[in-house]
Amino acid sequence: MEDATDPAERLNAILGDRDETLATAESLTGGLVGSRVTDVPGASDYFDRGFVTYSYDAKRELLGVSRESLDASGAVSDPVVSEMAAGARDRANADWAVATTGIAGPTGGTDEKPVGLVYVGVAYAAPWGTEASFVRTERAVLDGDRDAVKRSAAERALDALVRAIEDVDG
């Protein structure tokens, strides 16, 4: 029996019967979002690919994140997660993309960017001519050790993706 509250199950229920595709772009989650998607039977109907872009160079080369955004805001920022999501969507030619970046800890945090800070981005490619494509971002500070932050960030990303798809569906 499917768990209606599990975002990966909800995603499968929504995208499983549609002719839409999904790509992921992950930094701090290191592939956990893609893993959660593919934990659910039927994900091959819509999951196209995942980009794990931990370094600045990987973000620039694979996703087209701008040097300016990385330099001005750092990898853990709203502009970078936005560019990661759009880059994954566009490079995979997918309908949907979800991206994560953040500081999992236990070190690396600052007063401005504490351990547990996470950004999630969701990008949608609407049909050409509709001008309805978008990228949405969310910021959160999550509690727990490194593993807990990564797992919570992956769940948050899937939940944000499901909410965005449901918003488009009206």
Question: What pTM did the predictor assign?
Answer: 0.95
Residues 29, 35: Cα–Cα separation, whole Å: 10
Strands of 47-52's sheet in order across:
47-52, 22-26, 96-102, 117-124, 134-141
Q: Which residues are CB-neighbours of 111 under 8 A, at least 6 positions away? A: none
List the chain pLDDT tens, one digit each, 170 residues: 345 689 999 999 999 888 999 999 999 999 999 999 999 999 999 999 999 999 999 999 999 999 999 999 999 999 999 999 999 999 999 999 999 999 999 999 999 999 999 999 999 999 999 999 999 999 999 999 999 999 999 999 999 999 999 999 87
**Going from the N-terminus, what domains does the chain have, and what CATH number goes with each?**
7-169 (3.90.950.20)
